[in-house]
């Protein structure tokens, strides 16, 4: 039972609520439906989504066979856009299937909040769905139940295809199952006509998904199921004039009655809807509930990318020599191959914190803290304006930066402007000699800086030997917001976690000698800094330990995503 599971070391979180409208939240299991719970392994604080199937539902051999088939099929899948299968076990009451937790739920939830999505967002999600489908089809597997509720979204806005309760191995035309299964609005004509499922049936469902996201409702939806089936068989639907011409063409090319006339997955990706339209590299979390402002790469980005190629191409020494004579006083580029990825920063922090916690003895209070530390640069103020522009922050050395939605970064450091492209190429300019094409982004940074200066309090004080130098500032690589905290990852391998409820903060920073310093800012805004090896040896208060466990949990979820 669930109580037995808790006694084994599992903590049950809130159960995902069911919605019987469009079957948004329930998960299929062997053709039926299972409840899904959020659970935490108390041994390591790792969180899972867990399908719980009552044994009463699998009392017959053919029912149990379907469950076993789904488990074995899902276990065999390993792809970045497929929900990860962890493990399963059962007791006398239930079967428990542990899966990757996608904290932003599904496209069904986003669709319910937004009703329609923009073309760049749809391209973003469809590319990931197609990547997962190509993987499945290449392994000879049909999903057979593609719908919004089966596309899950993780903390980082990455899509995961899940729910393989109706999935089946691909068979020859003669052997194909003639069963009608799937969600009514997304069924292909050949399925309704009992001609069997092929890869083309999944493509049809993909076209229905695209239509639903862009138009706000499925293409063949009516108030009567029989009428819906009739519309599907006759391929009778309308294309709203609000759709772009390329979107209309693509949907029409997918929703073809004859399966052989439909575009393949590769042909869909080669369609002008994708090749001539902007697809963002990432979506801001705010896009789950509101329209994001997603601008195509700016002319400035194209200019700087071209300039970087000329600087670091084959004629490197000759170009740099002539370039330095005329432009270096105003414009200083540098390569940044040594900048770690956000995932690498998160993974290294998770490892050192896990190591510390695993050897840390139980204690009732914190050890003596350092009276002074080396200059520590951390985020004292921040503002999330990702619904329009990006994430702005002020550092303890008074420098201000903005990580823009499209991935570029601009920061003000004393009288110098630093600009970073998404390929980690950096450019520096005197503030009074900024290229015209960067003036708009500089204006946004100024606005955020003024807002933070006039409206926000400092996050606390850190006792340092000296004030941090304005000329050296870490670069924000990524920020992540959860229900309880804000996580910021920097290129100097510093991570900072701000807890919302009590405004406490944890800063893990790496010294030049590769040792780690942990700084804790309490709700009274008082800072305490400890070498991590001291905490590992002496232990810490339950309050701090609890927060460290939560940070590890966040980082584990991020690195496993």
Task: Report, as residue numbers or ranges, the catalytic residues.
Answer: 145
Rounded-to-integer distance, Cα 151 and Cα 110, Å? 11
Rounded-to-integer distance, Cα 56 and Cα 1, Å? 12
Give 474's DSSP letter.
P
Any bridge partners for residue 94, and if so which? 54
Q: What angle do CA 502, 348, 381 make, to 5 degrees?
A: 35
Q: What ranges make up the beta strands (E) of 466-526?
A: 476-481, 485-490, 495-499, 505-510, 516-521
Please provide the DSSP assignment of 309-367 as one string. Answer: HHHSSTTHHHHHHHHHHHTTTT-EEE--TTPPPHHHHHHHHHHHHHHHHHHPPP-SSPP
Of the candidates 126, 116, 162, 111, the residue with the CA atom closest to the CA atom of residue 254: 126
Of the candidates 57, 14, 30, 340, the residue with the CA atom closest to the CA atom of residue 163: 30
Of the candidates 199, 75, 226, the residue with the CA atom closest to the CA atom of residue 133: 199
Rounded-to-integer distance, Cα 29 and Cα 31, Å? 5
Rounded-to-integer distance, Cα 25 and Cα 477, Å? 33
- Cβ atoms within 10 Å of 151's Cβ, excluding its own: 27
Rounded-to-integer distance, Cα 459 and Cα 502, Å? 12
């Amino acid at each position: 039972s669930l109580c037995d599971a808790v006694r084994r070391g599992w903590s049950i979180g809130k159960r995902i609520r069911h919605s019987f409208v469009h079957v948004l939240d329930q998960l299929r299991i062997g053709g039926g439906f299972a409840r899904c719970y959020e659970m935490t392994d108390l041994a390591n604080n790792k969180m899972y989504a867990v399908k719980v199937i009552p044994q009463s539902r699998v009392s017959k051999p053919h029912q149990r066979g379907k469950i076993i088939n789904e488990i074995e099929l899902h276990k065999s899948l390993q792809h970045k856009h497929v929900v990860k299968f962890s493990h399963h076990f059962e007791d006398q009451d239930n079967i428990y299937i542990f899966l990757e937790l996608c904290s932003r739920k599904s496209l069904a939830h986003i669709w319910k909040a937004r009703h329609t999505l923009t073309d760049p967002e749809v391209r973003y999600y469809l590319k990931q769905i197609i990547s997962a489908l190509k993987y499945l089809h290449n392994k000879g597997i049909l999903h057979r139940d593609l719908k919004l509720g089966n596309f899950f979204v993780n903390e980082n806005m990455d899509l995961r295809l899940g729910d393989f309760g109706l999935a089946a191995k691909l068979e020859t035309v003669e052997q194909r199952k003639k069963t009608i299964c799937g969600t009514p609005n997304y069924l292909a004509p050949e399925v309704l006509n009992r001609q069997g499922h092929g890869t083309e049936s999944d493509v049809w469902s993909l076209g229905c998904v695209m239509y639903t996201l862009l138009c706000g409702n499925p293409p063949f939806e009516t108030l009567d199921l029989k009428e819906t089936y009739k519309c599907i068989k006759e391929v009778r639907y309308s294309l709203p004039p609000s759709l772009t011409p390329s979107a209309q063409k693509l949907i029409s090319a997918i929703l073809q009655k004859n399966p052989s006339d439909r575009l393949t997955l590769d042909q869909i990706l080669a369609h002008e809807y994708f090749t001539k339209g902007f697809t963002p590299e990432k979506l801001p979390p705010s896009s789950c509930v509101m329209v994001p402002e997603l601008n195509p790469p700016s002319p400035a980005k194209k200019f700087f990318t071209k300039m970087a190629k000329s600087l670091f191409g084959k004629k490197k020494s000759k170009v740099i020599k002539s370039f330095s004579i005329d432009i270096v006083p105003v414009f200083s580029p540098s390569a940044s191959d040594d900048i770690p990825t956000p995932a690498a920063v998160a993974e290294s922090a998770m490892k050192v914190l896990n190591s510390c916690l695993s050897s840390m003895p139980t204690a009732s209070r914190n050890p003596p803290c350092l009276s002074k530390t080396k200059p520590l640069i951390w985020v004292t103020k921040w503002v999330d304006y990702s619904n329009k522009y990006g994430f702005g922050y002020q550092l303890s050395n008074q420098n201000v930066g903005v990580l823009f939605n499209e991935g570029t970064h601009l920061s003000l450091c004393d009288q110098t402007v630093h600009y970073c492209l998404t390929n980690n190429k950096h450019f520096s300019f005197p503030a009074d000699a900024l290229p015209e094409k960067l003036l708009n982004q500089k204006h946004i940074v100024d606005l955020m800086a003024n807002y933070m200066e006039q409206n926000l309090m400092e996050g606390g004080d850190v006792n340092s030997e000296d004030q941090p130098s304005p000329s050296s500032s870490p670069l924000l690589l990524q920020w992540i917001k959860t229900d309880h905290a804000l996580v910021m990852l920097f290129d100097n391998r510093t991570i900072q976690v701000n807890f919302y409820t009590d405004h406490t903060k944890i800063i893990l920073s790496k010294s030049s000698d590769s040792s780690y310093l942990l700084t804790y800012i309490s709700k009274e805004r008082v800072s305490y800094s400890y070498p991590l090896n001291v905490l590992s040896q002496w232990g810490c208060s339950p309050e701090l330990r609890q927060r460290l466990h939560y940070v590890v949990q966040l980082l584990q979820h991020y690195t496993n995503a």
